[in-house]
Amino acid sequence: MLAASHLTLRIGRRRILDDVDFEARAGAVTAIVGPNGSGKTTLLRALTGEGAAEGRITLNGIDIAAARPARLAAVRAVLPQATPLAFPFLVAEVVRLGQRAGLSAADPGLAERALSAVGLQGLAARPYQELSGGEQQRVQLARVLAQVWQPVGPEGPHWLFLDEPVASLDIAHQLQVMRLARGYADAGGGVVAVMHDLNLTAMFADRVALLAGGRVLAAGRVSEVLTDTHLSQAYGCALRVGVLPAQGPYILPQAAGAA
Amino acid sequence: MVALMRPDVAPQGDRSARARQATVVLFACLALVAALSLGTGASGVSLVDLAAGWLRGEAMAARDRVVLFDIRLPRLAMGMLVGAALAVSGALMQGLFRNPLADPGLVGVGAGAGLGAVLAIVLGGLLPAGLAAALGQYLVPAAAFLAGWAATLLLYAVSSRQGRTSVATMLLAGIALGALSGAATGILIYLADDRQLRDLTFWGLGSLGGASWQKIALAAPLILPVLLLSPLLARGLNGLALGEAAALHMGVEVERVKRLAILSVAAATGAAVAVSGGIGFIGIVVPHLLRLASGPDHRYLLPNAALLGAALLVGADMVARLVVAPAELPIGIVTAVLGAPVFLFILLRSRGILDL
């Protein structure tokens, strides 16, 4: 269980987060959506103990603000939007950096399995810097997975915090990564993801928090939150849910695999 | 070394076995260079002759004893200490700044430490007599250490914003620091008397020529703990390679690692500069060669850097002593002549560096 109450974060005089309450349960995928600059990434950072927000956050009952980094690292892993890499590490070495931070540090074949899970089997010995942007993002996901490989640990569920995990991926890999997140939640782990793609959110999330202007506009089940009214208000343009365009091709992830 | 440089890669993308082999090879290299260094010198005393004499049960001649134990051995020990300190400082600083070009000498920390030493040499006489007597020969290293530390902190504060360290800012700040300490040194040279001028000149050139057991006793307590304890920072520095936020989420106490790394660099660089003056390129070339050979994992990089740095500096010192014997070149010239082309070669072949 992740519970945050009354989160407020100011930068200068501007409130990036304004009295935000947020909840996520293990066994579910919880998405954070909203327009650019609505505070999605800031909220995710606050939930992972990065940046000093006012308010109280507990993860599996651990007070985030007071916990040592190593204690939290054993319970949850965080995938940032972009990860710079300073030195010429190999792909498998990057994944092992994550693995060594978690509870499965001694498993010799784990890096290979984590790479297979994100569709990068066979790239273990390649220099990380030679991969494409989308491949690098999936290596980082493998690193994060390797840190909390077991969805449930000795002290309760493990958690994945993902900041736009599918942003730089093609549609096939978007689906692959979202299925991975879904599977992690189905196996008892918790997943909190900042999402831009509303279709993928509708497909894979159990619960959604819709942010606008640093506040929670709506939170709850997907069908309750992703409505014409909420979305139009949050994004500032008239949006219709479940309405097909009159003409022109359109490609929906929901239709992938349907013959 | 040639075998180590081959860029082939273990099948599973795991270079730790190769890094451990490198440790053994480097240890052997260091032992070999050390033996050669002990056996060569202007006096012509040969290690083989001494060993043969010892085997025949002859007592060592007084002159040979002095050459071996009071000249060559302290010089070897100081070369190993200083070389290891410079290489490990370079590796630590590059890990801290997440940049393979960061080097205590290149970014002004060495200049800061040098300025501290020059200040102590020229203005040390102005200190109250009691204080000066209490500090004694510790004055110059202490000043170098403190000034190097101050320069490191200043540099880090200037070039870091919100947990990100800008390389361009760091290099520019390093140039500014270097220029500032150059100007301050200029003023001090203007003020100095003849004896101080001679001391200052010796300082700037960098040399192991003044090696003595007393100097080693000064530098070792600062350098040895850094060499022995730096591997404890390896996990933190590995995490920092992915940025501070990622390191935090992987369980690294980021601020503590940063503070310890800065303190270690200031201590080791300050002490090395204090006893040997300005010796360049070891700190940047050694970690770079090792990353090419066996990867950037700091668990192996830091101890291997100590071994290779020590071996390289002792080797360079041997060259410095032999090329114009019985006189000797300042070792800074040798490391620059050997190191600068390697550095340029690295820049040419590493496309990744251009993106930084």
- What confidence tens digit (pLDDT) does each residue in B43-60 have? 777 777 777 887 787 777
pLDDT mean over B267-274: 85
Q: What is the pLDDT of residue B7?
A: 45
**Higher-confidence residue: B47 or A47?**
A47
CA-nearest residue to A76 within chain B is B249
Instruction: State whether B13 and A86 contact (CB < 8 Å).
Output: no
pLDDT digits (tens, 9 = 90+) for A49-76: 987 789 999 999 999 989 999 999 999 9
Interface confidence, given as ipTM, is 0.92
Query: How close A141 comes to chain B (CA, Å)?
Result: 12
**Higher-confidence residue: A219 or B269?**
A219
Residue A245 has pLDDT above 90, yes or no: no
Q: Give A143's pLDDT tier (boundaries 50, 70, 90).
A: very high
Q: Given the structure tokens 């990744």, which residue do they identify?
A: B352
Query: What is the CB neighbour count within 10 angstroms for residue B186?
Result: 10
Residue B271 has pLDDT above 60, yes or no: yes
Q: What is the pLDDT of residue B162?
A: 63
Superfamily name and number for A2-75+148-255: P-loop containing nucleotide triphosphate hydrolases (3.40.50.300)
Least confident of A12-16, A77-81, B2-6, B308-312: B2-6
Q: Give A165's pLDDT tier (boundaries 50, 70, 90).
A: very high
Distance CA B250, CA A140 (A): 12
Least confident of B161-165, B252-256, B265-269, B282-286: B161-165
Residue B6 has pLDDT above 70, yes or no: no
Q: Which CATH number fits domain B2-354: 3.60.9.10, 3.40.47.10, 1.10.3470.10, 3.40.50.720?
A: 1.10.3470.10
3-state secondary structure (DSSP) of residue A238: coil
Using CB atoms, which residue from B251, B291, B352 is nearest to A101? Answer: B251
**Which of the listed ranges A94-103, A239-248, B206-215 does the model predict with the highest average pLDDT?**
A94-103
Interface of A with B (CB under 8 A): 45, 48-50, 68-74, 76-78, 80, 83-94, 96-98, 100-101, 111-112, 124-126, 129, 147
Q: What is the pLDDT of residue B2?
A: 41
**Which of the listed ranges A151-160, B213-222, B267-276 does the model predict with the highest average pLDDT?**
A151-160
Domains of chain A, residue spans: 2-75+148-255
Instruction: State whether A83 and B250 contact (CB < 8 Å).
Output: no
Q: Give B165's pLDDT tier (boundaries 50, 70, 90).
A: low
